[in-house]
């Protein structure tokens, strides 16, 4: 009988966990300063139309 070991890895990589608080703060700011983006999240969030896409840049202009 052969035993097989399964290792489950997360689907993300954290380069520097010390920056997590800063990143959360930046996301909180974006959520309050970009109501249009948040409206899109509310409208399309469940269906995840961008799943699998890699977004390399975004520009918000007022």
Number of domains in the chain: 1
In a domain, 35, yes or no: yes
In a domain, 39, yes or no: yes
In a domain, 28, yes or no: yes
Instruction: Identify which of 39, 37, 17 has the alpha carbon closest to the alpha carbon of residue 27.
Output: 37
Q: Which domain holds residue 36?
A: 24-48
pLDDT in tens, 5-51: 888 877 777 788 899 899 999 989 989 998 998 999 899 999 999 89
Q: Count Cβ neighbours within 10 Å for each residue of 9-21 and write b for 16 or more, e otherwise.
A: eeeeeeeeeeeee
pLDDT at 3: 80
Q: DSSP H helical segments within 1-62, as ranges? A: 20-33, 35-44
In a domain, 9, yes or no: no
pLDDT at 55 over 90: no
The CA distance from 14 to 48, in Å, is: 23
pLDDT at 60: 73
pTM of the model: 0.48
């Amino acid at each position: 009988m052969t035993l097989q070991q399964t290792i489950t890895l997360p689907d993300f990589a954290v380069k520097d966990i010390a920056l997590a608080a800063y990143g959360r703060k930046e996301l909180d700011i974006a959520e309050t300063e970009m109501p249009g983006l948040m409206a899109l999240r509310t409208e399309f969030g469940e269906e995840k139309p961008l799943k699998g896409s890699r977004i390399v840049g975004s520009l918000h202009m007022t």
